[in-house]
Amino acid sequence: MTKNLPILGFKVSTEPVKQIIEYCLNDGKNLVVNTINPHSYIEQKSDKDFRDALLKSDVLIPDGSGIVFAARYLKGVRISKIAGYELFTETMKLLNQNKGKVLFLGSSHNTLAKIKERASKDFENVDVYTHSPPFKPAFTEDDYAEFVRIINEFSPDVLFVGLTAPKQEKLIESIRNRIDVKFSSGIGAVFDFYAGTINRPSSIWIKLHLEWFVRLIGEPKRLWRRNFISTPLFLKDVLLSKKH
């Protein structure tokens, strides 16, 4: 198991991303790697299924500067932010070394085609399969059964789901005991970043912990709530937790 730190009721991993992925690929059996950030923390407070999915994660990585701040402020521990994109690239590198298999579940046929084309050049030893699920508010049990069939027929080492939170975490939790993979992970916008359909902020913005600002400018309608509502509410909980 990886080392973790209790933050606001969740066990957040403190390990470097490479060590996490090596553990999952070498010792994993139906493990689930989820991410947590201020927005997902606030969302889970009113969504029991989402909360359960996060709590049942085998590894919960700090995908947000707010979580890094909370670790330092509440526990006096310095941890590093691990973006979903880092999780993805490190996984693909290790799969490429071992001629592994990965299945991408989520997004449109066009985005998935771009992912497969780029991955064939960047990680030529990785066997890639993609599946675009039906676009609907919630999946049915028949949908889940079809996902399970597709996944088990391809038998990937890793399952990446790109449906945004909390839909992707709920899907993984619903099928995790019916699929045979080393680990599954919901990586949301990484699908679009890697496909090039949405530009990822440059490394300068990321190092300055301002990736959120660049993304907000690019997608204001989708991201305004997480930055102007979720983040202040999260910081409030952090401050209140310190007092208690």
pLDDT tens-digit readout, 55-106: 999 999 999 889 999 999 999 999 999 999 999 999 999 999 999 999 999 9
Task: Convert 70-88 to b/e letters by CB count within 10 Å (16 or more is b).
Answer: bbeebeeeebebbbbbbbb
Q: What is the CA radius of gyration of the chain?
A: 17
Q: What is the pLDDT of residues 203-230, one digit of tens each?
A: 665 665 656 555 556 666 565 455 667 8
pLDDT of residue 227: 62
| Tens-digit pLDDT profile for residues 14-60 | 999 999 999 999 987 999 999 999 999 999 999 999 999 999 999 99
Are residues 150 and 125 in contact, defined by beta-carbon separation less than 8 angstroms?
A: no
Q: State the alpha helices, DSSP H only, in the chain.
A: 17-27, 38-44, 48-55, 65-75, 84-98, 109-122, 141-154, 167-175, 190-195, 203-207, 211-218, 220-225, 231-243
Please measure the distance between the N-terminal and C-terminal CA atoms of the chain and give it in whole angstroms: 29
More confident residue, 205 or 196: 196
d(CA 164, CA 180): 23
207, 183 contact by CB (below 8 A):
no
Distance of CA 138 to the CA centre of its chain: 19
The model's pTM is 0.91
Residue ranges per structural domain of the chain: 4-195
